Amino acid sequence: MEKFEVFRHDIDDISVLNIQGFLDAHTAPDFENELQKLLQEKRYKIIVNLDGLQYISSAGLGVFMGVIEDIRENKGDLKICNAGEKVFKVFDLLGFPSLYEFYPTEAETVEKFKAAD
């Protein structure tokens, strides 16, 4: 069985979810649960670090789409970093770069949040 794992760490009011492995229709609910936990805690500044994500299907992309409205209505954002070439291509095919901010590193993404404060 191909694995999927989510690791969370917080930097002040920013929460980082580092997702690893294979994100498909089977593992998407795990990712969604982690995001929903953040929303329940009213943490709306979210970074999803894709370093270690080897595969994503549209079921995985659907999770990003399912939460973004809620996040932005609460003056937050979900930004994405460290996408590998193969994974980024899938986001790109579906036009995600026009809706979500992508950055090469987590540090840069944190800076973007801090600069907006």
List CB contacts of 51: < 8 A, sequence separation 6 or more.
Answer: 18, 20, 81, 82, 84, 106
Sole binder of other proteins in the list 57, 88, 101, 102 (CB under 8 A): 57
Sole binder of other proteins in the list 13, 41, 94, 114 (CB under 8 A): 94
**73 contacts other proteins (rule: CB under 8 A):** no
Residue 25 has what DSSP assignment? T
Contact 84, 50 (CB under 8 A): yes
Sole binder of other proteins in the list 7, 99, 105, 111 (CB under 8 A): 99
Contact 42, 73 (CB under 8 A): no
For other proteins, the binding residues (CB under 8 A) are 1-2, 22, 24-26, 55, 57-59, 61-63, 65-66, 68-69, 86, 89-90, 93-95, 98-99
